[in-house]
Structure 1
Amino acid sequence: MSSVRGGAPPRRAAGRPPARRPGRRVHPLVRIARAWPALLVVLGIAVALSWDTDRRDEPPVAGRCTVTDTAITLTTAQAANAATIAAVARVRGLSDRATVIALATALQESRLRNLDYGDRDSLGLFQQRPSQGWGSPEQVQDPVYSAGKFFDGLVEVRGWETGRLTEVAQSVQRSGFPEAYQQHEPVAQAVTDALLSDVPGRLSCTYSPPDATGPVDDRAAAVATVAGRELGLITTPLPEGVVRLDGGGWAAAKWAVAHAERLQLAEVRLAGWAWTPGDGWAESAAAGPQLTVTLAT
């Protein structure tokens, strides 16, 4: 049986109205404190929209990715990391909810940046600690590996698909700030929807391609290797810097767009649509049913 600390409240005389306490002015700081839970959500979204502004030792990044019908803007590096997380989840056959939880976690831990520093020995997208058995420093800074380790832990959490996001993420991460993950759910959901949607324009990126370096056939072979590893697809380098991703659908096409700056892609084509770094997505009669990417030359 539960008890009430301090005993039962005193009774007042029958028929006597309760005494009214004199009005007190509430200090503005108290009002802010009471509103803090709601403010956290707003601040979380604001932080997510300015991921690239607080790392003083990194040069400004020209490339940007946007999520249609939202105010969300990512750097191309952050979009690439998000796309890799989503790809790892899909290769493992996990639901979209797994991607949402993982993205919200990475937003809190690193703002979707593959960090080479952190609290104590924490590293990478999920700030995993090699000393706690997550893997070697090199492994936890590999987005494919680190996302896989996160999902290894996620699927062991009972009820993870329906549980409250911050509690599920905390079960994997064991953070000192267990409630912090929840504030990132709206952004994580929007980015997941954009990455996995069958609508091409939901995610688009722009960047200024640098002068390409190295033989295009060698670079195409490297792109094929990266795409095959992350997407789990058969990839075929073709002449003139083209790579075919057999069986790749729109999620794979979004992955390619998100990684376009990293891989120096000049075009992504699929099912009557083409993406270019200057113009984004547009309908294209030249885009056939097979997903292809073309390298900048």
Structure 2
Amino acid sequence: MSEPIRPSRSSRHGRLARFTAAFVVLLGLAAYVAVHYVTGSKGAPRCSVGSGENTYEFSPEQASNAATISAVGTTRRMPERAVTIALATALQESALRNIEHGDRDSLGLFQQRPSQGWGTPRQILDPVYSSGKFYEGLAKVPGYSRLPLTVAAQKVQRSGFPQAYAKHEPDAALLAAALTGRSAASLRCTTSAVPEGRPGDPAKVRAELARDFGGKAAPKATAGGDAGSAGRSGANASGASLVLSVPVLATTGTDTQRGWELAHWAVARADELRIVEVAYADKVWRASDVSGAWTKAADDGDGTVRIRLAQ
């Protein structure tokens, strides 16, 4: 019987070198994770609503689109149930992403089809327009608020998979409760808006508020200070105010609910609009807080939502 082939010394050394290199890489990765965990460093921006097992997590892009869908609904004086139906529909159709493709010529948040009379491609890809068209269709459904969600959504969408909407109802209900303001301080988000290397644009924030909520929501500039901290300037180098005070004028529900609706809208769109601080009542949200949560703050008593932008 021939003797077994023994590995050469050079091959053993090669395996040992590879093992050592892999071990060093593993140690480096473990150290990186540990440092980021201990220091609270943020990963990719995320948002969440709910608590415990009843939590829905989503991206800032999805949060921004969800906030617009909700704002368009309440501005049309649609009830929270309508907002829930709209959000569940958009979760199923596009995962709350304003996509430029779909089945046949379907587009946008609700996968509406130009060939079926929903509007032009450009219109459908406007979240405000597409949300408005969905609510317009829903309002024509008799007793929609008493129908099962999947039935109400299907009467508007006429989807080939009508039962698919139902699975999104729990997440949509959590989102609607937060974004309509009924559930106070319940939307938590982390963002990439800090460090403040790129300033926010007050004019853009005003325009987006007016588009989503109507002209009455247009904020006023604040002369100085900020949304929840002392000792900072309220203007950038060009003199444009970076602190906006948004009036709380209830269209549905109470003024307090309207205030939380506006405050949550600002947090949901913080990553996109470079918002670093939002304050309302006795709570403040800061982009610098890695938890993304609202914390206790002094209530200035003026009843407005105050938004501070990156400088």
TM range (shorter): 0.7 to 0.9
Q: 1:221 aligns with which of 189, 203, 218?
A: 203
Question: What SS class does the counterpart of residue 109 from structure 1 fall into?
Answer: helix
8 Å Cα contact 2:118/2:124 also seen in 1:
yes
Tell me, which stretches of 5 or more residues in structure 2 are unaligned?
Answer: 1-42, 223-233, 236-241, 249-257
CA distance in 2, matches of 1:242, 1:79: 22
Tell me, which stretches of 5 or more residues in structure 1 are unaligned?
Answer: 1-60
Confirm or deny that 1:116 pairs with 2:100: yes
CA deviation profile, 1:50-89 (whole Å, cap 9, x unmatched): xxxxxxxxxxx81110113133101011111111111111
* 2:144 aligned residue: 160
- Distance change in 2, residues 1:68/1:167 (3 Å): closer
CA-CA distance at 1:287 after TM superposition = 4.7
* 1:234 aligned residue: 218
CA-CA distance at 1:197 after TM superposition = 3.7
* 1:65 aligned residue: 47
CA-CA distance at 1:194 after TM superposition = 2.1
TM-score normalised by length of structure 2? 0.71
Q: 2:260 aligns with which of 250, 255, 258?
A: 250
* 1:281 aligned residue: 294
- Distance change in 2, residues 1:105/1:198 (3 Å): closer
* 1:196 aligned residue: 180
Q: Partner amino acid for 2:49?
A: V
* 2:4 aligned residue: none
8 Å Cα contact 1:106/1:125 also seen in 2:
yes
CA distance in 1, matches of 2:149, 2:74: 19
Q: 1:140 aligns with which of 104, 107, 124?
A: 124
CA distance in 2, matches of 1:81, 1:111: 10
Q: Partner amino acid for 1:224?
A: R
8 Å Cα contact 1:101/1:165 also seen in 2:
yes
Question: What SS class does the counterpart of residue 161 from structure 1 fall into?
Answer: helix
8 Å Cα contact 2:85/2:172 also seen in 1:
yes
Deviates more, 1:226-235 or 1:278-287: 278-287
- Distance change in 2, residues 1:223/1:191 (3 Å): same
CA distance in 1, matches of 2:284, 2:63: 19
* 1:93 aligned residue: 77
Confirm or deny that 1:76 pairs with 2:60: yes
CA-CA distance at 1:212 after TM superposition = 4.0
Question: What SS class does the counterpart of residue 294 from structure 1 fall into?
Answer: strand
Q: Partner amino acid for 2:304?
A: Q
Q: Percent identity?
A: 46
* 2:157 aligned residue: 173
CA deviation profile, 1:116-140 (whole Å, cap 9, x unmatched): 1111111100001111111111111
Question: What SS class does the counterpart of residue 198 from structure 2 fall into?
Answer: coil
What is the number of equivalent residue pairs in this alignment? 234
The CA RMSD over aligned residues, in Å, is 1.7
CA-CA distance at 1:169 after TM superposition = 0.7
TM-score normalised by length of structure 1? 0.75
Q: Partner amino acid for 2:270?
A: A
CA distance in 1, matches of 2:66, 2:87: 7
8 Å Cα contact 1:273/1:281 also seen in 2:
yes
CA distance in 2, matches of 1:63, 1:231: 25
CA distance in 2, matches of 1:235, 1:135: 31
CA-CA distance at 1:286 after TM superposition = 6.0
* 2:274 aligned residue: 264
CA distance in 1, matches of 2:156, 2:173: 19
CA distance in 1, matches of 2:300, 2:271: 21
8 Å Cα contact 2:46/2:57 also seen in 1:
yes
